[in-house]
Each structure stands twice: as C-alpha cells, then as structure tokens.
Amino acid sequence: DRCQMLSIKGINRTVGQEQQASMKEKQVLEDQEMHLARREMEALFQEQPETGNQYLEDTLLRTYLKIHLPPKVLEEVHRDLERFGNRLLTEIQPLSWECELNPPVFRQYNAWGQRVDHIHTCSAWRRMKEISAEEGLIAEAYEKRYSNWSRLYQAVKLYLFSSSSGGFNCPLAMTDGAAKVIESLGIPGSLKNAFDHLTSRDPEKFWTSGQWMTERRGGSDVANGTETVARKQPDGTYRLYGFKWFTSAADSDVTLTLARIADAEGQCTQGSRGLSLFFLRVRDEEGKLNSIQVQRLKDKLGTRQMATAELWLQGARAELISAEGRGVAAISNMLNITRIHNVIGAVASMRRMISLSRDYARKRMAFGKLLKDHPLHMQTIARMEVQVRGAFLLLMEIIRLLGLAETNLASEQEQLLLRLLIPVAKLYTGKQASAVAVEAMESFGGQGYMEDTGLPVILRDTLVLSIWEGTTNILSLDVLRSLAKSQGQVMAVFLYTVQKKLQLASGTEELSPAMQRTREAIGSLQQFMAAAGSEQALTMELAARDFSYSLARIYTG
C-alpha cells in the first residue's frame, strides 16, 4: 500500500528517505483519524440551555399585568420591566454567578493579632446592593407612585430579580420588612433617617437590614428561646447583651432584634410578654462594629453567597422602638413581609428551572428526536408548569390584597383573607419549589447534577424556602391560630371568596371538570371542619398540615 502510495505521488526516494517519509505519512494519517474521531465526538456535545429577557418570555406574568393594571400604569410598568429584563440578562446574571464563586470570607484577626471581625464580601455582592437601590427594589413599595399597585409592581421586579440576584434577595426581604415595621410605627422622628436610608434609590445612601431573632434555644419559639437582655442607659438608649445564633446578611447596615428589658434588680419578664423590639446600627460611621463580636460564619447547604453569622452582643447600643413587652406584635409586620418574599423566591426559582428545562427540551436530542417531541417528557414539564402557574397566581393574589391594605382600600374581609393566605402560601410554595427544583433537575439528566451548569445552586438555594421564616409545621399551626383568633370569620371569608370565584368561571364550559373537582374539595373541607368542631385540640393539630395544604390547593385552583 505504501509503495503504491509513493508511486502514485511520483516520488523517487532512497530507502532512508522512504522510511522517514513513511513515518511522517503515518503521523498524518493518525492525525486525520483523530480529527475524524473528534469531529464525531463534537456532535455529541450538548447545547447549553439559555433564556432571554425573563419579562418578555413570561407570558403568564404579562397577561396578568395586562388584565389587572390600569392602562396608564401598565404602559409605564411594561416599559420599565422590559428594560429591567435586558439588564438582568446582560449585567445582573453574570454578577450572580460571581457571587456564587466568591462567597464571603471571615477574618477574625489582622496580621498584628488585633481582633477585627471583618466579613469580606465580593465586589459582585456589593454591586448587587447598588443595583437594588438603582432599581428601587425597596423604594417602589413605599413611594406609592401607583397607589395600591405599587406593591405589585415592586413584587414583580423582585420576582424577576430573585433567581438572578446571587442571594441578595434575602437581605432585601429583611430590608423591606424593617421598612414596613418602621412605617407601621408611624415613622417616629428617631427612625426617620433610617427609613429614608432603607427606602433610598441612591446607592450611596441605601441601607440593608438584618433580622436577628434566632438564638441558641431555637428560631420559631422566640417566646421561650430569647435570652438577650437589654439594659437601659441614662441617655434613654439601651445596651444589648446576648448571643444571636443565626443572623442572615450579617454584613447589613442595621437590624431589628428582640430582647428582654432588665429591671433595676436585673430581672426580666419571661415568655412573649417580656420581649421588646429594638433597632440598632451594626457599625458606626467609621465602620467599627457596635460592641458586637462575630464568632463565625455558618457553613450552609445553600445561600452560600450571603454571610450568615453567629454574633455576640456585648453591650451593643440600641433603640427601643416598640412598646415595652410588645416586641412580638411589633415585628409581626416584618414577618408578613419576609414570608411574602419567601413566596416570591419560591415562585421565581420554579419559573427559572422550568424556563431552562423548556429551552433544553428544544435543543437536546435523545433517541433520534428532540426532548420536546417525547410526549412523556413534555407531560412532565407540563405538570411542573401547572404548579408554577398556580403558585404565581396565589402570590399575585396576596400582593394585590397587600397593596389594598397598605393604601387603606382593603375591606375587613380582604384583610382577614390576607392574614390567612400569607402563612398558607408560604408553607405550600416552599414545598412546591423544592419538589419542582428536583423534578426539573432530573429533566437535564446527568448534566443537572453538574456544579458548573449552575443548576445545583438553584436547587440548594431553593431548599431553604421551607425552613426560613417558619417551617411547614410551624406555619400550619399559625393557620390554625388565625382561624381560632377570628372565631371562624377567616374561614367564612375564605369559603365565600372561593365560591364567588367559582361563580365567575361557571359560564366557561371547558372549566367545568376543574370546577367540579374544586367543589368536591370544598365539600370535603367543610365536612372535616364540621366533624372537627367537636374534636380535641390534638386532632386539629395532627390535621394542621393537611388542612393548610387543602386551603392552598383550593384557593390556587
């Protein structure tokens, strides 16, 4: 073969030259074979799933806004959201990945052995704070440019921002909550400066807030778990002493926290009646900590982009902002807002995962055809899509009611309904988000399990949503408390509202099977409640989770 090849090429060589030429030709042939092999392998490389402008691609969101917003408001909001969607794609998403790759680092001592307790965050995280101010992600809700629709506009921007925020949605939740508490107190003169900073659009002035409630004995049981003591000073301020076990966004500028005021003998009232709410600056103007020591940063499963710390309060100067012993009541406004932010995060993470899954299905070939052409695969995506659409509509309903309540336009019935739906939506969407994230991850096959795809990050960060701001069981019991406190009024409003919504849909024939299932579910719920009326408290507690799930599913339907 080689002789033939040489004669074909018309080359006359000596034996030595032939051997040398032979080796070169062999190398050329091997290179050609390798190139062919590589080319065949290249065809097996997978295309990366991508999304475009999140706002423009979210048909359900755009339809909802078109139906509900007044035309002039819609025109302005649409223009801003389209611009924001482009900014998310080009600037904010790359910053989000930087935040994941560069988590906060804690340096307790400097090179000379002096204690500094410095939490270093990356430049991308600090840029997220600036962007949050520029976009008015907190300000929008408090400026009330669009009256009762301002809160909805803010929520939509947060929904779009959430899964691209690099974890910055968490400090924003607490900042919103702190601003809400100060607003509910009438923005007293001593807190006016803080409120202006928390709701500022100026990146140089914008502050974020923490929410320091969890102590060594636990998080949800604040009545029995809070050990921090407040000692009054001659100038009317307080000094706080205690240990905060879990403080999210420890790099925040200010915080709200609970503590027990000590009397002249140093004694404190126990239980929830002994808790008061305090406001404090984390650092002074020079950046020095306010008599606070950082023990360590938490090593978390997810939300690693954000600094969560254990803190010693060693005489931290603070201001009492609630009536003495009314701390739990005062901070409830903050909890409502942060729970709503939790729902926003849950719906946003589901939407993000499904959007990527849908795009992947349009690109990935398997068994001779695209994934989108496999009926079972599309059924799986469709089932996830139903979950996220239902969760989105439940979220929007809560935000709509909140907007009415904040502008004094909500009826008593609407306020009762909002009180019920916040814990219901928080507990249910937290569970939904975890399940959808796992299912969506599976739709990418092995690639879904690879860290550098960014998909495991979304899953990890989603798993906190059923824990943060009250676990599923804690919130289920909160639902029962809201029923008991209103002496049945809340449930009557719930059933009336659901029946009214069903009547509106009664003229649409294609909805009749869904309506029939919803009516059956309502019937079962009413039967249970009638039977449970005579049951002991234990029976209701055991049913609390299933009962709350039923409320969520019925209202979502």
Considering the domain architecture, whether residues 85 and 197 belong to the same structural domain is answered as yes
Which of 205, 234, 262 is the C-terminal boundary of a domain?
A: 205
Q: Given this model, what pLDDT does residue 3 score? A: 47
Structure tokens at 532: 């449970």
- Residue 463 half-sphere exposure toward CB, CA atoms < 13 A: 11
φ, ψ (nearest 5 deg) of residue 289: -65, 145
Considering the domain architecture, whether residues 85 and 183 belong to the same structural domain is answered as yes
Considering the domain architecture, whether residues 193 and 215 belong to the same structural domain is answered as no
Q: Using CA atoms, how far apart are residues 255 and 277, in angstroms rounded to an integer?
A: 10
Considering the domain architecture, whether residues 69 and 168 belong to the same structural domain is answered as yes
Considering the domain architecture, whether residues 192 and 62 belong to the same structural domain is answered as yes
**What amino acid occupies position 415?**
Q
Q: Indicate the number of domains in the chain.
A: 3
Beta-bridge partner residues of 258: 277
Q: Which domain holds residue 493?
A: 489-556
Structure tokens at 500: 């009214």
Residue 335 lies in a domain: no
**What amino acid occupies position 25?**
E
Pairing label, strands 309-320, 275-281 = antiparallel
The pTM score is 0.91
Residue 102, SS3 per DSSP: coil
CA distances from 472 to 117, 300, 422, 469 (A): 35, 20, 12, 10
Considering the domain architecture, whether residues 62 and 192 belong to the same structural domain is answered as yes
Considering the domain architecture, whether residues 123 and 225 belong to the same structural domain is answered as no
Q: Using CA atoms, how far apart are residues 362 and 355, in angstroms rounded to an integer?
A: 11
Residue 73 lies in a domain: yes
Residue 365 lies in a domain: no
Which of 304, 326, 348 is the C-terminal boundary of a domain?
A: 326
Considering the domain architecture, whether residues 254 and 119 belong to the same structural domain is answered as no
* Residue in 408, 419, 386, 399 with CA at minimum distance from that of residue 493: 419
Percentages helix, strand, coil for the chain (3-state, rounded to 5) are 60, 15, 25
CA distances from 424 to 9, 169, 418, 433 (A): 82, 21, 10, 14
Residue 421 lies in a domain: no
Are the CB atoms for 432 and 453 separated by under 8 Å?
Answer: no
Considering the domain architecture, whether residues 196 and 244 belong to the same structural domain is answered as no
Considering the domain architecture, whether residues 217 and 296 belong to the same structural domain is answered as yes
Q: Given this model, what pLDDT does residue 10 score? A: 43
Residue 242 lies in a domain: yes
* Residue in 507, 478, 458, 490 with CA at minimum distance from that of residue 555: 490
Helices 150-162 and 375-406: angle between axes, nearest 10 degrees? 140
Q: Using CA atoms, how far apart are residues 168 and 157, in angstroms rounded to an integer?
A: 13
The dihedral region occupied by 487, where left means phi > 0, alpha psi between -120 and 50, and beta the remainder, is left
Q: Using CA atoms, how far apart are residues 226 and 379, in angstroms rounded to an integer?
A: 49
* pLDDT 10s digits, 338-392: 999 999 999 999 999 999 999 999 999 999 999 999 999 999 999 999 999 999 9
* Residue in 84, 193, 87, 177 with CA at minimum distance from that of residue 138: 177
DSSP 47: P
Residue 542 lies in a domain: yes
> Residue 288: which CATH number?
2.40.110.20
Q: Using CA atoms, how far apart are residues 345 and 167, in angstroms rounded to an integer?
A: 10
Which of 176, 205, 234 is the C-terminal boundary of a domain?
A: 205
Radius of gyration of the chain (CA): 29
Residue 34 lies in a domain: no
Q: Given this model, what pLDDT does residue 224 score? A: 85
**What amino acid occupies position 225?**
G
> How many helices (H) and strands (E) are present in the chain, helices listed first?
20, 11
**Which portions of the chain are predicted below pLDDT 50?**
1-11, 43
Residue 494, SS3 per DSSP: helix
DSSP 49: P
Q: Using CA atoms, how far apart are residues 445 and 237, in angstroms rounded to an integer?
A: 58
Considering the domain architecture, whether residues 187 and 250 belong to the same structural domain is answered as no
Residue 201 lies in a domain: yes
Considering the domain architecture, whether residues 267 and 198 belong to the same structural domain is answered as no
Q: Given this model, what pLDDT does residue 36 score? A: 58
- Taking the CA atoms of residue 515, residue 517, residue 523 and residue 524 in that order, the dihedral angle to the nearest 10 degrees is -160
